[in-house]
Amino acid sequence: MTERAVPTEIPDRYRYAVIPHIMVEDAAAAIDFYERAFGAREDFRVDAPGGGILHAEITIGRSVLMLGDAGVDGAKTASFAAPTSLGGGTSVTLHVFVSDVDSLAERAQAAGAEILQPPKDMFHGDRTVILKDPSGHLWVFLTHVEDVSGEELRRRLAAAGLE
């Protein structure tokens, strides 16, 4: 009898994160965009029997993102929707820290992202860009530039009229 190894409770890949799982109208095109715009790496995909992608996973930096086609049978049954089917809006914004937000913003825009807020230094100590991908998902990419104490953060918020 062969002994089976006891699986780890949570695989290392998912240990310290809430894993976003987004739905799109064309997952193959979205993966291609994320590779070109964000330097993503496709880790694996499961094709749907009738065409499209049932489930795929990519890595951007050290962050895992799950995605799939909203129109495949399993997604329709679960009532998943892509932003395009919601009139272009979304209730989720994806945040990813990167080493150089400026070069990422340039590459993403050249690949077809819409820049909603150009890279700028923010009160919270991060240089930040906000963009929308061709599938309608909102992304915030950040490069940490300064540690800001709670007291200093409150001072900056008050100075900006945000507190």
The burial class, CB within 10 Å (0-12 / 13-18 / 19+), for 88 is exposed
Number of structural domains in the chain: 1
- Residue 135 belongs to some domain of the structure: yes
Residue range of the domain that includes 17 = 12-159
CATH of the domain at 149: 3.10.180.10
Q: pLDDT for 111-130, tens place per residue?
A: 999 999 999 999 889 999 99
How does the average pLDDT of the chain come out, rounded? 88
Closest CA to 133 of 117, 97, 109, 106: 109
- Residue 3 belongs to some domain of the structure: no
pTM to 2 decimal places: 0.83
- Residue 42 belongs to some domain of the structure: yes
**Spatial distance between the Cα atoms of 123 and 146, rounded to a whole number of angstroms:** 10
- Residue 5 belongs to some domain of the structure: no
Q: pLDDT for 25-58, tens place per residue?
A: 999 999 999 999 999 999 999 998 888 999 999 9
- Residue 7 belongs to some domain of the structure: no
